[in-house]
Amino acid sequence: MLSITDEIIEMSEVETWTLPDRETSMPYFMVHCLWSVVNHSGFFVFEKEEPMTTSVPQNTVREWTSDEYAPSKEDKFSFGLWTVGNRGRDPFGEYVRPLFAPVYIVKKLSELGAWGVNLHDNDLVPFDATPTQRDRLVREFKQALSDYGMVVPMATTNLFSHPVFKDGAFTSNDPAVRAFALQKTMRAIDLGAELGATIYVLWGGREGSETDAGKDPVTAVKRMREAIDFLCHYVKEQGYQMRFALEPKPNEPRSDLYLPTIGHMLGFIYTLDAPEMVGLNPEVAHELMVGLNFVHGVAQALEAGKLFHIDLNDQKAPRYDQDFRFGSENLKSMFFLVKLLEEKGYSGPRHFDAHAHRTEDEQGVWDFARGCMRTYNMFKQKVRRFHTDPEIQALLKEIHSGDQTYGGLLGGYTSERAGRLKEATIDIDTRAKRGLHYEKLDQLTIELLLGAR
């Protein structure tokens, strides 16, 4: 058994370890332990923050909160522990920001107006934690959630940081790795269920290849199916109220990932044992990395009833995954995204899977988080204006009117309709000559977005 002093010394030694960017678990754990140890002993106040209280602190944020765009719990904004906890490490440079303990993140996000916090298993419980350490961390985290009025809508598994996953988890050629991946995920599902998560994200971080010489891509898809089927049965048997959201990504960290886009994933879902339990977690940056229209992808998922969750961020088109602040790059398409989500009644979390620029210190992280939420709300306000702008609405009415003469020939197939359609003379010349006024509508949209109307 370690004494408090030994524990602090041991943890301080741990801090000098270098870990891959996403392997944040041990540092988090270290700060977490330090935080709780020093709190109990009462001789050190972490980061000069107030100790946890049993009510949501009031008036702690004084800027950007007084207007209609200030985020509130009703907006259902969530962040991952790994997002605001991102320390700015990249393949070329070391950490630039300090560790934030999970309970500290919960407190800060709550103060900023967020509603939920999501996590990988190892964002909270280190890879090699003992059952006692796990229970303590989970207990303290749950206390923080209750103290700060935060929920855990989504949980996921880290199947990418540990070297054992270097050639994938569910798709690894090695049965022992596949078995370990399933074991780890079942335990992480238990953790998610304990924290109240109803969505479980599966992102195939390393489910891919650099070369197709060593892995059969057909077998890879079959293995993925086998794993997800297994996990669906597990969730059902446990009686958890949980659905899976699959997150496609075209590449990074592998050269190529399997099931790379929304479309690939959608097709795959319907081959599963329990497709009703499985939907999508599309991410803005991932579709933009391959030059796709994210709004169209999300629309297809929505239409199929498969938009279970969404990762909001932004991206300068085709390049590495940039995870920029939501709406910081593609103003117009992010407006259309918010318009789609709001108009179609998407009721799930508005989750930000993004992080602050590497140039930022801690204040920059909270500026970043607040910015994601405010921008979403500003777009939401613009959508309301779009709906009430008379000129835009009149134009839309005209655009959608078309020639109704042939309406009766459309709809579902009947042999009578098919016969009439084959015989009909359709006035294509008039239709072909007609201008559609999309230029004007698009310009009006731009003027609205830029505040000119």
List, by residue number, the catalytic residues.
120, 123
- Nearest distance in Å: CB 203, Mn ion: 6
Task: Determine if 353 is a binding residue for Mn ion (CB under 5 A).
Answer: yes
Q: Do 84 and 49 touch, CB atoms closer than 8 A?
A: no
Nearest approach in angstroms of CB 311 to ligand GCO is 5
- Residue 201 interacts with, from Mn ion, ligand GCO, none (CB under 5-8 Å by kind): ligand GCO
CB atoms within 10 A of CB 83: 26
Tokens 């950007």 — which residue?
64
Query: For Mn ion, which stretch binds (CB under 5 A), given 148-156, 291-299, 351-359, 406-414?
Result: 351-359
**Among 165, 159, 29, CA closest to 102:** 29
Going from the C-alpha of 33 to that of each of 17, 22, 195, 403, 404, the distances in angstroms are 16, 20, 20, 69, 69
Calpha distance 190→193 (Å, rounded): 5
Our CB check for Mn ion shows the closer of 253 and 371 to be 253
Is the Cβ of residue 76 or residue 249 nearer to ligand GCO in the bound state? Answer: 249
Quote the least distance from Cβ 338 to Mn ion, whole Å: 18
Q: How far is the CB of 42 from ligand GCO (least distance, A)?
A: 37
Q: Which is nearer to ligand GCO, 315 or 445 (CB)?
A: 315
Contact between 287 and Mn ion by CB under 5 A: the answer reads no
What are the structure tokens assigned to 15, written together? 């801090």
> Minimal distance in Å, beta carbon 345 to ligand GCO?
24
CB-wise, 8 or 105, nearer to ligand GCO? 105
Distance (Å, whole) CA 445 – CA 453: 9
Is residue 314 part of the contact set for Mn ion (CB under 5 A)? no
Omega prior to 248 cis, within 30 of 0: no
**Residue closer to ligand GCO (CB basis): 147 or 311:** 311
Q: Identify the residue among 147, 283, 287, 389 touching Mn ion (CB under 5 A).
A: 283
Measured CA to CA in angstroms, residue 6 lies from 31, 33, 128, 247, 409 at distances of 15, 12, 19, 42, 81
Q: Choose which of 140, 311, 314, 329 interacts with Mn ion (CB under 5 A).
A: 311
Q: What is the CA radius of gyration of the chain?
A: 25
**Residues at the contact surface with ligand GCO, assessed by CB under 6 A:** 156, 201, 203, 247, 249, 283, 311, 321, 353
Pairwise CA distance, residues 144 & 50, whole Å: 13
Q: List interacting residues with Mn ion (CB under 5 A).
A: 283, 311, 321, 353
